[in-house]
Amino acid sequence: MQTSVRADDADADADAAAPVAPVARVAPVAATGALPGVPVRTGRGRRTAVLVGAVLLLLVAVALSLALGVRGVALRDTWQALVDPVAGNVDHDVIRGQRVPRTIIGVLAGAALGLAGGLAQAITRNPLADPGLLGLNAGASLGIVVAATAFGVVSPGGSVWFGFLGAALAAVLVFAIGHGRPVQLALAGATVSALMVPISNLLLFRDVDAFNQLRFWAVGALTGRDVDAIAGLWPFLLVGALIALFVAHRLNGLALGDDVAAALGQSVGTTRLLAGIAIVALAGAATALAGPIALVGLVVPHAARRLVGQDYRWVVPLCALLGPILLVTADIIGRLVRQDELEAGVVAALIGAPVLVAVARGRRVAGL
């Protein structure tokens, strides 16, 4: 018995002398949104600085959008046109009648597309997901074209309901075909877009009046809409944005998979439903306002995750800032490169195409 006790004491001494491996401190998933094994390198201070910088950059883009164009206007005169316009002043009339509405449209549509893209990539865990590649823009466009050609509804406030219906129909088709799998969803979205875009073009080409009224909208332009369009659509954009901000913290769980999200106490179905409603509202309203603008919703979430990490509580607000920065900048470039202007949707596609190629060739995207 004494020998057995000494043996046990020797084992205990050996265990005490053995080096103890340090225990890694793992931050709660729900708080950080980080993937297992992926270190969190962005602190709250840096993230706040990024958001503040994005706000300042957006203000600069808005100021340049009001001042630059075929007819250049000094910033001092631009400010005077906003706060104390002079009747009969051509520069003031151009700024207030043309550039202010198109700038506001660029901000609203860009924010909507950026938010919709961030939500789409989060709930599908697909780095190629955005309203355009998932067919939502094509569905909304088809609904708006049907409203114009079949019912004579061309006002944004009236056609937006058709846009919502078309986007919802496209979403149902894409998820039914893709079965919720990332690669299949992208292929299903491309299929739905390939079906709906030619139908939209055919309907437009057969109706001369509708084509004349929607010809700028069809290529994704910030022109051709006035303040009435903004007044009729901003409530839908606001509702979609509020829902996006509400579900942002829930998206961190979805990034780890449905099982982990459910284990954390989240209702996966409710989260996806709310996010889907927000995507349809944002994509439908943005399409009714500015036309089928592609790739903005793809580029913005990738840039946001690189700047603030994978926590969607920060990614979603940043998407709402980077989207308008990209779209307004694209509109400014389109005004300056050609005398008769190049539509913002074309310039945005030229900017987003290389990003799409880079994402498609990449093997892994953090957070997805």
Residue 69 pLDDT: 84
What is the reported pLDDT for 352?
Answer: 83
Read off the pLDDT band of 176 (50, 70, 90): confident
Provide the pLDDT for residue 180. 64
Task: Say how far apart CA 150 and CA 275 lie, in whole Å.
Answer: 31
Let me know: does 344 contact 221? Beta carbons within 8 Å.
yes
With a cut of 60, say whether residue 210 has pLDDT above it.
yes
What pLDDT does residue 260 have? Answer: 83
- Residue predicted with more confidence, 91 or 70: 91
- Say what the pLDDT of residue 1 is: 43
Decide if 233 contacts 160 (C-beta within 8 A).
yes
Instruction: Write down the pLDDT at residue 342.
Output: 84
DSSP 339: T
Dihedral of the CA atoms 248, 250, 251, 256 (nearest 10)?
Answer: 150
CB 171 within 8 A of CB 276: yes
pLDDT digits (tens, 9 = 90+) for 259-288: 888 887 888 889 999 999 999 999 999 998
Q: Average pLDDT of 148-152?
A: 91
- Give the list of residues 6+ apart from residue 146 with CB closer than 8 angstroms, or none: 162, 166, 203
- Average of pLDDT values for 123-147? 90
Q: Per-residue pLDDT tens for 9-19?
A: 444 444 444 44
Model pLDDT, residue 160: 87
Is pLDDT of 205 > 50? yes
Tokens found for residue 339: 């005398």
Q: How many CB atoms lie within 10 A of CB 365?
A: 15
> Does residue 321 register a pLDDT over 70?
yes
Domain boundaries, the chain: 105-361
Q: Which residues, 6+ apart, have CB-to-CB distance to 61 below 8 Å?
A: 324, 325, 328, 329, 332
Give 98's Cβ-side CA count (13 Å radius): 15
**pLDDT band at residue 4, thresholds of 50, 70 and 90?**
very low
Class of domain 105-361 (CATH, top level): mainly alpha
Q: Is the pLDDT of residue 30 over 60?
A: no
- Per-residue pLDDT, averaged over 14-25, amounts to 42
Residues 186 and 128: beta-carbon distance below 8 Å: yes
Q: Is 60 helix (H, G, I), strand (E, B) or coil?
A: helix
Integer CA distances (angstroms), 147 to 141, 152, 165, 207, in order? 10, 6, 11, 12
Distance (Å, rounded) from C-alpha 166 to C-alpha 231?
Answer: 22
